[in-house]
Amino acid sequence: MDAIPDSTGTPAAAPVARLVLASASPRRLALLQQVGIEPDALLPADIDETPRKSEPPRELARRLARTKLAAAEAVLRAEGGTVRTWLVAADTVVAVGRRVLPKAEVPDEAADCLRMLSGRQHRVYTAVCVLSPGGRRERIVESRVRFKRLSGRDIQAYVASGEWRGKAGGYAIQGLAGAFVVKLVGSHSAVVGLPLYETVSLLDGEGFPVRAAWGGPA
């Protein structure tokens, strides 16, 4: 697109696409960087993530992602920074049946999660929401993960690693807990925290230059 002349007759630069990630998660940042997308800013949203009574895990993931997006959007609007900005928010929920497992913060909580996941299948729901200059879109990805039967030594050693801290379901599939996974049906990146196919598709569909850093046409 040709640059538009400013009041002095000098062509003005075309507006630059700006991407903001509404998260402080190093995992989500690393996933975006993996596909060549470098956020211009991180804008984590401090929200209450407590499930509502009888709220299904899928709907919880959707609600939390939408709430994070809305909170970050409010900050951007207050700063006057929504023009030519794409905003990405996501949330991941781990569930056994309808039971939502917490984001473990203490060793006992992590150990309880691991005992619940041992030898059985669980589901991971990751919702991603994208706000663009043209509107907003969202996707929810459901993945099924089966763990091996964990021994007391497995649980004790993993808890000692500290890797579980702050992770939904008390584990990080991209780390040591990858050794527990017998089967995964769905999206590995979604279980980590951000479904790459869906996120890139949403951004691409909303006009963000997702291929700008790939060396070819954006």
CATH number of the structural domain spanning residue 122: 3.90.950.10
Q: Does the pLDDT of residue 26 top 60, yes or no? A: yes
Give a yes or no: residue 212 inside a domain: no
Q: State the pLDDT at residue 79.
A: 81
Residue pair 180/146 in contact by the 8 Å Cβ criterion: no
Q: How many domains does the chain have?
A: 1
78 or 200, higher pLDDT: 200
Give a yes or no: residue 216 inside a domain: no
Q: Does the pLDDT of residue 218 top 50, yes or no? A: yes
Please give the average per-residue pLDDT across 111-123, as a whole number.
97
36: left (phi over 0), alpha (psi -120 to 50) or beta: left
Q: State the pLDDT at residue 84.
A: 84
Q: Which of 101, 55, 110, 45 is nearest to 75 (CA)?
A: 45
Please give the average per-residue pLDDT across 147-166, as a whole number.
97
pLDDT category at 45 given cuts 50, 70, 90 is confident
Q: State the pLDDT at residue 171.
A: 97
Helices marked H in the chain: 26-34, 57-78, 107-117, 152-161, 188-192, 196-205
Give a yes or no: residue 121 inside a domain: yes
Q: State the pLDDT at residue 217.
A: 65
Give a yes or no: residue 148 inside a domain: yes
pLDDT category at 148 given cuts 50, 70, 90 is very high
Residue 91 is a catalytic residue: yes
Q: Does the pLDDT of residue 195 top 70, yes or no? A: yes
Q: Which of 197, 214, 199 is nearest to 88 (CA)?
A: 199
24 or 217, higher pLDDT: 24
Give a yes or no: residue 215 inside a domain: no
Give a yes or no: residue 37 inside a domain: yes
Please identify which of the residues 2, 40, 48, 91 carries the catalytic annotation.
91
Q: State the pLDDT at residue 124.
A: 98
